Amino acid sequence: MSDLPRRRFFGSAIAAATAAAGWPAVLTTQAHAATPARAGAPTLKPRKLPFPPNDNLGSYEPAISADANTIYFARFANVGDKRVKGPTDLFVTRRIRQEGEWPGKPGDWSPAERLSDAVNSDSIDQEPWLTPDGKSLYFMSRRAGNRNAIFVTQLQPNGQWGQAHLVAGGNINTDYPAHCFMPFNMPGQPNAMIFVSIRPRAPGLPATEGLYTTRMVNGEWQPVQRYESQLLDSIGLKCRFNAVTRDGMTLGVVSVHDFGKFHTMMFVHYDPKSKEWKGPIVEAPFNDWNIDGACPTFTADGEKMIWSAGYDHGPGVVSGGSTGAGDLLDLFWLPTSEVVAYYKAKASLEG
């Protein structure tokens, strides 16, 4: 991993940057300052998946099956895979030799396979998430009115994915963008989904960035609700939010854009007594503010965190520009217990 200068954003600096980038003016609190590690704090070093699924054609924002042996991801056209028809398409790789410790060794995974045109389009298709039963694949696409919207495809009896369509109901898809549709399973609460959208808080108000939740009841998505959290609202330029409960803690992973450019990760935690998200906000130690590396997902049991990053390639193309181009990124993972232990140590939390 290259050791490049990092830029941190505080108070007025983030306001100026968001204004220049055209993002919603959300101020970032001073809690974003790096929290000093106490003595003996564990290290946290990303583990790289073998070749394949990593190759010289890139993998972006992966989704992983419940058994951790199937990975869906997006691939940028500009990196060089001639099979990609839009700016990004969805691909899949499978662990074909499952002996030994996960994730295995080179050759244990199949080469990347592009999903059919029933799923992919000539527009941006990315941000997959696979349901634990493996029967539904949700993703973000820009094929509907040139805005980010949530689509879904269902697994057919023949083992192929069916025709993708807009997620209906719940006011999930509107005239405003929506993306990063992720599980939001909190202790003592019904399972739900959370996503990022820029829409008005109420009729007549300007559109602002926020987190929204919904859950399925009797096969229907319920009306979305804006998720209120003073801490999460204070973190500007959110592009994804993940929550996972492991080792007695509910950890939140906030993926952010560095001034609307490169992706990085922040960690927070949930206090079940106050039912609030709390800091300190701790940076992932492998963040590099000149290199993409964030937007993780977790296995259904919460044991593994997987994400894509360009750590081994250095600064590159900013992901998600007007052309939909992106950098050459690889797949990395960590045991969730190590991430939780790191956060507890950095935040000086016991237990």
Q: Let me know if residue 6 belongs to a domain.
A: no
Beta-bridge mates of residue 195: 212
CB neighbour list of residue 305: distance below 8 Å, 6 or more residues apart = 244, 253, 296, 297, 298, 333, 334, 335, 336, 339
Helix intervals (H) in the chain:
11-21, 230-234, 336-346
Residue 93: the pLDDT is 98
Q: Let me know if residue 351 belongs to a domain.
A: no
Residue 279: the pLDDT is 97
Q: Let me know if residue 175 belongs to a domain.
A: yes
What 3-state class would DSSP assign to 294?
A: strand
Whichever domain contains 66, its CATH number is 2.115.10
Residue 37: the pLDDT is 43
Domain that holds residue 108: 11-346
Q: Are 98 and 110 in contact (CB under 8 A)?
A: no
Q: Let me know if residue 193 belongs to a domain.
A: yes
Q: Let me know if residue 156 belongs to a domain.
A: yes
Residue 129: the pLDDT is 98
Beta-bridge mates of residue 149: 141
Q: Of 66, 118, 109, 65, nearest to 90 (Cα)?
A: 118
Residue 83: count other Cβ atoms within 10 Å of its Cβ. 13
Residue 29: the pLDDT is 32
Residue 213: count other Cβ atoms within 10 Å of its Cβ. 17
Question: Using CA atoms, how far apart are residues 332 and 31, in angstroms rounded to an integer?
Answer: 27
Residue 30: the pLDDT is 31
pLDDT lower than 70: segments of the chain: 1-41, 259, 321-322, 351
Residue 112: the pLDDT is 97
Beta-bridge mates of residue 192: none
Q: Let me know if residue 22 belongs to a domain.
A: yes
Q: Let me know if residue 3 belongs to a domain.
A: no
Q: How many domains does the chain have?
A: 1
Residue 24: the pLDDT is 33
| 3-class DSSP string for 2-13 | CCCCCCCCCHHH
Q: Let me know if residue 257 belongs to a domain.
A: yes
Residue 40: the pLDDT is 57
The strands making up 165-166's β-sheet, listed across from edge to edge, are: 125-130, 136-141, 149-154, 165-166
Global confidence as pTM: 0.89
Residue 12: the pLDDT is 28
Q: Of 141, 145, 136, 138, nearest to 120 (Cα)?
A: 141
- As to burial, measured by CB atoms within 10 angstroms (0-12 exposed, 13-18 middle, 19+ buried), residue 184 is buried
